[in-house]
Amino acid sequence: QVQLVESGGGLVQPGGSLRLSCAASGSIRSISVMGWYLQAPGKQREQVAAINKGDDTNYADSVKCLFIISRDNAKNTVYLQMNSLKPEDTAVYYCNADLWLSDSYSYISYWGQGTQVTVSS
């Protein structure tokens, strides 16, 4: 069974940092793009950052120079280092990955269950 499991969320004060992790497990042959999305209460899910197999990255304008996305291909894991957090960064953060499974013929998009990040004093 394929799973994306996030960890690292929690409560942090404004100006603080958090590091999110997302590990993919299952019968995975290859992983293409991995990314992070956020969904604030009452709002649509939006992309925060993404990284491909060649480590090319892109970021939402609101987090450029503040958040850093990285991946460890040996561990099928993607990370999001979040710095200088603000209350408006409060949201559920979701991991997404395009996975090529052992019994599939193309990449399929999978989502994690989400991890809550709350920035508050």
Q: How far is the CA of 82 from the CAs of 26, 34, 108, in angstroms?
A: 27, 16, 27
Range 92-113 average pLDDT: 95
Helices (H) and strands (E) in the chain, counts: 0, 11
Over the stretch 3-25, which tens digit does the pLDDT of each residue have? 999 999 999 999 999 999 999 99
Residue 74, pLDDT above cutoff 90? yes
CA angle at 8 for the pair 25 and 74, rounded to the nearest 5°: 35
Residue 22 confidence (pLDDT): 98
Token representation of residue 56: 């090319």
Residue 103 confidence (pLDDT): 87
Are 14 and 121 spatial neighbours (Cβ–Cβ below 8 Å)? yes
Can you tell me the distance from the alpha carbon of 121 to that of 106, in angstroms, rounded to the nearest whole number? 45
Can you tell me the distance from the alpha carbon of 89 to that of 119, in angstroms, rounded to the nearest whole number? 7
